[in-house]
A and B are shown apart, each in its own frame.
Chain A
Amino acid sequence: MNDENIVEIKNLKKGFDNGKITALNGVNLIIKKGEFVSIIGPSGSGKSTLLNMIGALDKADEGSVSVAGYDLTKNKDLSEFRSKEIGFIFQLHNLIPNLSVVENVEIPMFERSMSGKSMRNKALKLLEYMHLSDKLTRKPTELSGGERQRVAIARALANDPSIILADEPTGSLDSKNGQMILQRLKDLHENENVTLIMVTHDMNVASMAQRTIKVLDGRIQN
């Protein structure tokens, strides 16, 4: 794997329902370190499946996927990879409802052998960065949609990942909150030099990235 590349995918195939549905059909893709890439395509095109493959949430049927030096097709337990290298942002924030904002941000750090104090300090710093210092003890249900998504971004950054994977991060937000979240992600990419891969079906959102990859019927369109 080339040192400049953080993602290398070769001839990736993935099907569901015992092969009746083909989600990815021979995908080849290289993403460089520090790139901001958007993946665009209609519903069912396979873009979210591709993102899940890069994040090691699903396994390939054929082909190879290497991310941040990990061969995802060979490694069996990929929880350490996800914990160290990946930060996920979902369309729905997926915060834990009975935990406070700061506790939600601490959740990924449990696997990093950090003391309770270090975890709390890190979470406070991230929430300050997301302008949420005044909402630390609030429960997710007491926040607006935009605020919840900012908590989710803080959670994704908790373990200093090398790649942020965002699946329709503005999909459930109004345009004002959506713009704010996109700006946060862009700032993050520029200031922290983190690789950002964002799935969207909105061309305007996709245009904010350095490179746009189009997925249709499980293949990347040139």
Chain B
Amino acid sequence: MSFFSLIVKNPFRNKTRTALAVVGIAIGIATIVALGIITDGLKASTEETLKAGGADFTIVEANVSDMFLSKVDDSYVDKVKNVTGVDDAVGVLTAVQPVGGNPYFVIIGMDPAKLSMSGMKITSGTQFSGDGKEVIIGKVAAEKLNKTVGDTITLGKEDYKITGIFETGDLQQDGGSFISLKNLQEMEDKPGKVTMIYVKIKKDAKVEDVTKAIEDQYGKDITTISSLEDLQNVDQGLNTIDTASWAISLLAIVIGGIGVINTMIMSVYERTREIGVLKAVGWKNRRILGMILGESLVLTLVAGLVGTIMGIIAIQLLMGLGMGGFIKPVYAPDVFLRAFIVALTVGLIGGFYPAYRASRLPPTEALRYE
């Protein structure tokens, strides 16, 4: 028998207590994993929106707390077009309305002549041509709403005829619809306003130069976003989710750590006499410390594994319950790495005190323990 196999065996002596401790820590880990997957999904989806249709960067209102609350005067579309290096620009208004069973149905208003800048591919029917009550809906929306070309859907208080089905690869857009900018401005009572402006630059131009020129000229009212990092400087929504994610990780460490301390202290109490025997047969203090700390790490690593599986199952359940049309989960390795780092930290912090205590037990007192 190796020292390692002894460490692996010991936590499972009291299976019920170990199982309860594992579940307690695993819930924290599952929350970290699930939140991480959702956050990464939101970031990826937002990044896709920023780069829609091959736009090189996006313009939103300056000092706005959330990108989708941005309101930019649509006169800036023409102003931006005249900036050196800009090839084309299009204003886009976004809105969210409950449609069918989806409370977060995305409606994007865009000039019909510039629809190609959204990067969409019409898979069935045709795109809308003017400012009539026409709509094209995404492939995912068509499936969820069970609608096809020629059917109608109610947006705002009016019926819109579906002229085509599109696909962009962006889950939010594919789960929503496009109508003419004018129609959406009327529907949302935002005349002359757009949420953002997609900008495409000329082949020989550089994004940094063009964004700088725009910021220099119009930086008082609008700001440019060419990367997710830029967005996070502007949009507090993603930062809030990131902060919440870290706060939950910290909470999981504290709660999990207390759980581990409790479990390991109970274990050390129960085995006081045994620890006395180990000292009597010549075990060094540091070996006893290593054994208890190792047991704590085994406990939390098992919890890390269970929590990761629980987190993935929770995400699958949420996707099945309707979130699938809104967020595309991203299973990035760093989320799982973070979960295991948290588990290891919990194990080290929670296990240290019981391990130290066990290692310092005087042998005669330990052997007398009833």
Assess the A79–B283 pair: CB atoms within 8 A: yes
Q: What is the number of residues of chain B that contact chain A, defined by CB distance less than 8 Å? A: 24
Of B19-27, B35-43, B270-278, the stretch lying at the interface with chain A is B270-278
Residue among B6, B9, B282, B364 facing the most chain A CB atoms (10 A cut-off): B282
Residues of A within 8 A of B284 (CB): 77, 79-80, 111
Residues of A within 8 A of B13 (CB): 97-98
Assess the A82–B273 pair: CB atoms within 8 A: no
Chain A's interface size range is: 20 to 34
Assess the B278–A107 pair: CB atoms within 8 A: yes
Assess the B283–A106 pair: CB atoms within 8 A: no
Chain B 46-78 interface residues, beta-carbon cutoff 8 Å to A: none
Chain A 94-111 interface mask (CB, 8 Å, partner B; 1/0): 101111001100111011
Assess the A103–B364 pair: CB atoms within 8 A: no
With contacts A79-B285, A106-B1, A119-B1 taken as known, whether A90 is within 8 angstroms of B367 at the C-beta atoms is yes
Residues of B within 8 A of A106 (CB): 1
Assess the B282–A58 pair: CB atoms within 8 A: no
Assess the A99–B1 pair: CB atoms within 8 A: yes
Assess the B1–A88 pair: CB atoms within 8 A: no
A52 to chain B, nearest CB (A): 5
Judged by a CB distance under 8 angstroms, whether A46 is at the interface is no
Judged by a CB distance under 8 angstroms, whether B182 is at the interface is no
Judged by a CB distance under 8 angstroms, whether A57 is at the interface is yes
- The distance in angstroms between the C-alpha atoms of A110 and B2, with both chains bound, is 8
Residues of B within 8 A of A102 (CB): 1
With contacts A96-B274, A110-B287 taken as known, whether A83 is within 8 angstroms of B282 at the C-beta atoms is yes
Judged by a CB distance under 8 angstroms, whether A86 is at the interface is yes
A residues sitting closer than 8 Å to B (CB atoms) are 52, 55, 57-58, 77, 79-84, 86, 88, 90, 94, 96-99, 102-103, 106-108, 110-111, 116, 119-120, 155, 158-159
Assess the B282–A80 pair: CB atoms within 8 A: yes
Residue of B nearest to A48 (CB): B364
Chain B 314-359 interface residues, beta-carbon cutoff 8 Å to A: none
Residue in B1, B285, B362 whose CB lies within 8 Å of A116: B1
Residues of B within 8 A of A116 (CB): 1-2
Residues of B within 8 A of A80 (CB): 282, 284
A72 to chain B, nearest CB (A): 13
- The distance in angstroms between the C-alpha atoms of A97 and B277, with both chains bound, is 13
Assess the A79–B279 pair: CB atoms within 8 A: yes
Judged by a CB distance under 8 angstroms, whether B280 is at the interface is yes
A162 to chain B, nearest CB (A): 13
Residue in A57, A77, A94, A110 whose CB lies within 8 Å of B273: A94
Q: Which 3 pairs across A and B sit closest by C-beta, in order of nearness? A: A83-B282, A108-B281, A82-B282
With contacts A57-B367, A98-B10 taken as known, whether A107 is within 8 angstroms of B279 at the C-beta atoms is no
Chain B 265-306 interface mask (CB, 8 Å, partner A; 1/0): 000000001101111111111010000000000000000000
Residues of A within 8 A of B9 (CB): 98-99
Residues of B within 8 A of A103 (CB): 1, 6
Assess the A52–B274 pair: CB atoms within 8 A: no
B163 to chain A, nearest CB (A): 72
B156 to chain A, nearest CB (A): 69
- The distance in angstroms between the C-alpha atoms of A33 and B274, with both chains bound, is 30
- The distance in angstroms between the C-alpha atoms of A102 and B1, with both chains bound, is 9
Residues of B within 8 A of A90 (CB): 277, 367
Residue among A84, A88, A106, A119 facing the most chain B CB atoms (10 A cut-off): A88
Residues of B within 8 A of A120 (CB): 1
Residue among B273, B280, B285, B363 facing the most chain A CB atoms (10 A cut-off): B280
Residues of B within 8 A of A77 (CB): 284-285
A222 to chain B, nearest CB (A): 28
Residue of A nearest to B288 (CB): A79
- The distance in angstroms between the C-alpha atoms of A108 and B3, with both chains bound, is 11
Q: List 22 A-B contacts (CB under 8 A).
A: A57-B367, A79-B279, A79-B282, A81-B282, A82-B279, A83-B282, A86-B280, A86-B282, A90-B277, A94-B276, A97-B13, A99-B9, A102-B1, A103-B1, A103-B6, A108-B281, A108-B283, A110-B283, A111-B282, A116-B1, A119-B1, A158-B281
